[in-house]
Amino acid sequence: MKYLAKYKFRILVSLFPLLLALGHASGLWPWTLAHRLDNIIYDARLRLTMPQTFDDRIVIVDIDEKSLSALGRWPWSRNKLRDITTELFERQKIKTLGFDMVFAEPDNSSGLATLNHLGRTTLRSDAGFQAQLPFLNKTQDYDALFAESLDKRNVVLGYYFTSDRQKHTSGKLPNPVLNKAALQGHDSHITHWDGYGASIDAITRAVSAAGFFNAIADADGIVRATPLLASFENQYYESFALAMFRVHKGLHQRSLKLQRGNANSALQIDLNGNRQLIYVDEKLSVLIPFRGYGGAAGGAYRYISAVDVLSKELNESDLKDKIVLIGSTAPGLQDLRTTPVGEAYPGVETHANILSSMLDGKSVYRPDYALGYEFLTMLIVSVVLAFVLPSLGVTAAMVFGVVVLLGIVVLNTSLFLSQGLVLPMAATLLLGFAVYTLSMSADHLLRSRAMLALKKLFGSYVPPHLVEEMESHYDNYTMQAKNVEMTVLFCDMRDFSKIAENLLPSDVQAMLSRVFTQLSRVILKHGGTIDKYMGDCVMAFWGAPTQTSNHANQAVLAAIDMVNALAEINQVQQRLGMPDVHVGIGINTGMMCVGDMGSEIRRSYTAVGDAVNLASRLQELSKTYSVAILASTTTMSHANTVVWQEVDKVRVHGKTQVLSIYTPMARPIAENTAIEAQNTNDIVNQKYEKDELLLWQFALQAYRLQQWDISNQYLKELIVINPSNMMYAFYIRRIALLRLQSLDSSWDGTSDFS
């Protein structure tokens, strides 16, 4: 129990991928990546374990480029195929012959082509040939002669199934080998077709059997398996390779039987009382056991050019008792397939591979229990790793994880090599890697020092020297939200929309980057924490995560330097032909909630609260009063190193009480300039000094007493002293509007923005 309590988080995190993996194994949430990886693993293992040995039992007569060049383009006249068949059976004494092709139409050639002993083609007229064979008429010469050469011999033809709306059929389909009852309900996943293309009736009736040679590729276009049985109109037909094997062994169709066991399905073949099983998957397909890389150069089978057979280049009985497949490797005849061992693999050799494995009594197959095997291995791997890894160090955990996954690979490969079992492995390896990664990640999070976590969290928020301070006292810092007195600052670009509408988006982005880079440097220089960027606005605060007593003073000094930095920023703007940038800044000091906040989707270290909202309102008001910086009374009282100029008394949105707002003087002003006005007459009659702050106090006092003329007089003098302070012109405009209104006698000069 102590173990579970100590490592509960890591175990739970590690077991989470198991849910996804079990969803994959059950088929609810299949992992496409896992299927692709399984195919890649299978292909690679197939290439590495191919025997690449020569099978002298099977010979391929190749309609290759050499043959096409000598005998003309395909299709050839049937008399050439008759001559090849006769040569193979009578002179070479082969045992079984298979045509990996379809003779879909009668041969209506106008002449017979024969080959002389030099290998050159000559043509003889029908009339001359019919004179020698008077019992044949013109339209049946070639097909009849060809059919005669096939009759009563071990010959298998190929045909193909189709699936289209028209359900097109052509030629003569052979007899089915099994009916629906014989499949014992195993036809739910079998390949079903609704059309076919077979050889003409005259030729089909002359042969021992025929089999379909459809190649069905996987989703990636690669041919890895082929069905041994396929359905057409609720009857079941054998493949070309299976038909070749059955005919070669002299077996009747009744020798085939589908056997369903507890673990596997198999096609049972009765070899004269000796049962041979060919294991198949749920589609009654077998994986093609590739013997080599294909073609004459592949070395798995003997390839003989068709023209060499026709010209009797082979020694007599050279192919005695062999199985011969006639097919083509010529690219133009389109019987090349993409396989795990080659992108242009001869289709005829795929049949040879299956036939070879049947002769050896071996098969490579995916058993029926593959799903259960995958489920079990994923469960074992995830549970073992989840419970063992938390107790190990980093190096030991890595070694243990590698050993477990390597064990899965060894087990899977040994079953493949010894039993021919193709079992899924990719999902288990992916799951094991995910469990290991999550377990180690959880360990890193749990065991990493709080110092590193704080450095990662606050490194992008606060200046480097504060991060170093936090590192040395990391126990004092936490991400948990708490209430702290701080100073917050909002800085917004003035008339940004108007500037942006005349610029390209890329220019706007570049301008924002330049401006925010400069302003952010000032904030970090004065020890501020950058909270966020919001469009053309930046928010920063002082007093967290490192607490300081002079946070208000630092914030105000930062604001003044930010305004001063505009001179350098605007030099660049002018050089680029862009308008000058101006900002409005709002500052407030008060109690705020600061810490790691947000949702389950996204979180950030930020400050919230009424005091934060007030700073945002002050930033908005700075534009109204045409000043760069506005601060609250609390900020003004805390920042005692700055000379302040009162701006107004306001009632802002969301606030009922009246607030005094201030702006720091933009240039040094002598201390002790404040005066105490006794009454209105004193203000009016007093001989004032030409001091900006003093004159402003007079103007503001007269404004609040509704003495418009006197206030205007002071304001005009202030404009002469400091024409850059646009607040004075603002008050002149405001007074002009107020003259038109009848104000309440109780009005004290408060501006209501609520």
Q: Read off the CATH number of the domain in which 626 is found.
A: 3.30.70.1230
- Whether residue 256 is contained in a domain is answered as yes
Q: How far apart are CA 641 and CA 634, in angstroms?
A: 14
Q: Which of 329, 360, 391 is the last residue of a domain?
A: 360
What is residue 268's predicted lDDT score, i.e. its pLDDT?
Answer: 76
- Whether residue 39 is contained in a domain is answered as no
Q: How many domains does the chain have?
A: 4
What is residue 646's predicted lDDT score, i.e. its pLDDT?
Answer: 94
Q: Which residues contact 261 (CB under 8 A, 6 or more apart)?
A: none
- Whether residue 224 is contained in a domain is answered as yes
Q: How far apart are CA 258 and CA 577, in angstroms?
A: 85
User: Domain span at residue 416?
Assistant: 2-30+369-447
Same-domain status, 579 and 699: no
Q: Give residue-wise pLDDT tens across range 220-268.
A: 899 999 999 998 988 899 999 999 999 999 888 878 887 765 556 777 7
Q: Which of 331, 360, 389 is the last residue of a domain?
A: 360
Answer for the pair 24, 284: CB distance below 8 angstroms, yes or no.
no
Q: How far apart are CA 583 and CA 509, in angstroms?
A: 17
Please state whether the peptide bond connecting residue 545 to the residue before it is cis, i.e. omega within 30 degrees of 0: yes
Same-domain status, 353 and 228: yes
Same-domain status, 91 and 226: yes
What is residue 260's predicted lDDT score, i.e. its pLDDT?
Answer: 67
How high is the mean pLDDT in each 10-residue block of the chain (754 residues)?
Answer: 48 62 66 84 91 94 93 90 94 95 81 34 35 42 88 94 86 88 69 92 92 89 91 91 92 79 68 76 87 91 95 94 94 87 92 93 82 84 79 82 91 89 87 78 57 54 56 54 92 90 88 92 91 91 86 95 93 91 96 80 80 94 95 94 92 85 67 40 38 90 92 93 92 92 81 84
- Whether residue 456 is contained in a domain is answered as no
User: 137 by DSSP, 3-state: which?
Assistant: coil
Q: Which long-range contacts (CB under 8 A, 24 or more apart) does 202-205 make?
A: 202/106, 202/143, 202/144, 202/147, 203/103, 203/143, 203/146, 203/147, 203/150, 203/157, 204/157, 204/171, 204/172, 204/173, 204/174, 205/147, 205/172
- Whether residue 65 is contained in a domain is answered as no
Same-domain status, 305 and 398: no
Q: Which of 309, 332, 360 is the last residue of a domain?
A: 360
Same-domain status, 606 and 644: yes
Same-domain status, 518 and 613: yes
Same-domain status, 286 and 405: no
CA distances from 281 to 24, 270, 350, 669, 682 (A): 19, 20, 18, 93, 108
Nearest to 58 by CA among 354, 352, 359: 352
Nearest to 67 by CA among 317, 329, 348, 336: 329
- Whether residue 59 is contained in a domain is answered as no
User: 352 by DSSP, 3-state: which?
Assistant: helix
- Whether residue 56 is contained in a domain is answered as no
CA distances from 61 to 153, 525, 530 (A): 18, 85, 79
What is residue 7's predicted lDDT score, i.e. its pLDDT?
Answer: 55
Same-domain status, 294 and 432: no
Answer for the pair 198, 190: CB distance below 8 angstroms, yes or no.
no
Same-domain status, 335 and 226: yes
What is residue 732's predicted lDDT score, i.e. its pLDDT?
Answer: 94
What is residue 472's predicted lDDT score, i.e. its pLDDT?
Answer: 53
Same-domain status, 240 and 312: yes
Answer for the pair 740, 706: CB distance below 8 angstroms, yes or no.
no
- Whether residue 161 is contained in a domain is answered as yes
Same-domain status, 246 and 196: yes
What is residue 84's predicted lDDT score, i.e. its pLDDT?
Answer: 95
Same-domain status, 201 and 318: yes
What is residue 126's predicted lDDT score, i.e. its pLDDT?
Answer: 36
Q: How far apart are CA 286 and CA 242, in angstroms?
A: 11
What is residue 277's predicted lDDT score, i.e. its pLDDT?
Answer: 82
CA distances from 401 to 350, 393, 429, 439, 486 (A): 40, 12, 10, 11, 49
What is residue 272's predicted lDDT score, i.e. its pLDDT?
Answer: 64
